[in-house]
Amino acid sequence: MNYTLHQLHIFVKISQTQSITRAAQELHLTQPAISIQLKNFQDQFDIPLTEVISRRLYLTDFGWEIAQVAKMIINEAQALNHKTLAYKGLLYGKLKISVVSTGKYVMPYFLSGFMAQHEGIELIMDVTNRQKVVDNLTSNEVDFSLVSILPHQFNLNYLELMPNKLYLVGNERNKTGQKTNDPGLLKKLPLIYRESGSGTRSMMEKFIADNQLVVQKRLELTSNEAVKQAVMAGLGYSIMPLIGLKNELLNNDLTIIPLTGLPLKTPWMLIWHKEKQLSPIAQAYLTYIQENKSTIIQQHFAWYNRF
C-alpha cells in the first residue's frame, strides 16, 4: 500500500461529515480534489470503503474500521512532530479561539506575530455568531473567546484589546438631507438589522430604545458583511462597527452620518473562564498579547482614530 497522510486526513474528514461536499468545505479543497483522493485511496483496497444509497454517501463497516486506524496514524504522525519540537524546547499543540463574526477584522492581527514565533502551534479559530461563542465557553471547547459585550452568565477573566466603535452609515449616494444631528433622524430612515442575538444588533436596539424612537425595519441579515453590502447597494442604513468599514469609507462607498450619542463604544475583549487551567500555549499567548498589544494596535489600526 502507498497511501499518504493527506489521503488519510481526507478520508477521516469524509467519515466525520458523511459528505464529500462538506469535507471539501471544511478542508478548503474543491469537491473534485476530494473525490480524486478518495478514489486513489479506495484503489489500494479490495473491499469497498464507501457506498452510495439514495444519492447519499455512507461508509461501509470496513470503511469505518479503516477510518479509526487512519485517525490513529494521523495522531501518531502529529506526535512525532510534537516530540521533535518539544526536544528543541518549542511550544507545540493547539490554540483554540472562538470569535464573534465582526471580530474577524480584529483577531488575526493579534495572532499573526505569535503564530510566526511558534511554528509548532496549530490555530483553530471559529468565527461565528455570539450565541455559538457563548456555547463554546459553556462546553469548555476553547481557550479564549473574542467579544465586544461580556456574557454575564459566566465568571470570566478578560483582557481589553481595543475599542469597538459603531456609527450610523449609509450609501454615499443616498444623502439624508439632515440639518441636525438629532437621533430622531432614524425614524425617517429604512434600517437594516443584524439577526437576533447579535451583539451589534443589541447595541443598535439599545440606542434606539434609549432615545425612545419608533423606527422602520426594512431588512434583517445574518452577517456584518451582508449588512454592509446591502447598505452599499442603497437598501437602507445601519449602525455598524467601524472596524469592518475601512476600505468602504476610504473609497467613499459608504459615509458616516453623524448623530448625537454616536459612536457607541465597547471594548473588544479576550475572555476566558476564571476557573480554566490555561495550557502552556494559552498562557504564552496571553503573555504575548499583554506585552505586544500597543504595538499591534499602532501597526495595524492607526487608521481607526481617523473616524
Could you tell me how many helices (H) and strands (E) the chain has, helices first? 10, 11
pTM: 0.70
pLDDT digits (tens, 9 = 90+) for 219-230: 999 888 999 999
Q: What is the pLDDT of residue 254?
A: 94
- Domains contained in the chain, CATH given: 5-87 (1.10.10.10), 93-162+267-306 (3.40.190.10), 163-265 (3.40.190.10)
Backbone angle region of 98, left / alpha / beta, with phi > 0 → left and psi within -120 to 50 → alpha = beta
Q: Give residue-wise pLDDT tens across range 45-74.
A: 999 999 999 889 999 999 999 999 999 898
Q: Please give the Cα distance from 269 to 100 (Å, whole number).
A: 11
Q: What secondary structure letter does DSSP report for 105?
A: G
CA distance 5 to 182: 62
CB-based contact 291:110 (threshold 8 Å): no
Mean pLDDT of all residues belonging to the chain: 90
Report the pLDDT value the prediction gives residue 177, as an integer from 0 to 100: 63
What pLDDT is stored for residue 214 in this prediction?
A: 92
Residue 256: pLDDT band with limits 50, 70, 90 = very high
Phi, psi of 134 (to 5 degrees): -65, -40
Q: How do residues 160-186 score in pLDDT, each as one tens digit?
A: 999 999 999 998 776 666 667 899 999
Residue 26: predicted pLDDT: 85
Is residue 292's pLDDT more than 90?
yes
All residues at 6 or more sequence positions from 138 whose CB lies less than 8 Å from its CB, including other chains: 154
Q: Roughly how many angstroms between the first and final C-alpha of the chain, as a whole number?
A: 61
Give pLDDT, residue 82.
63
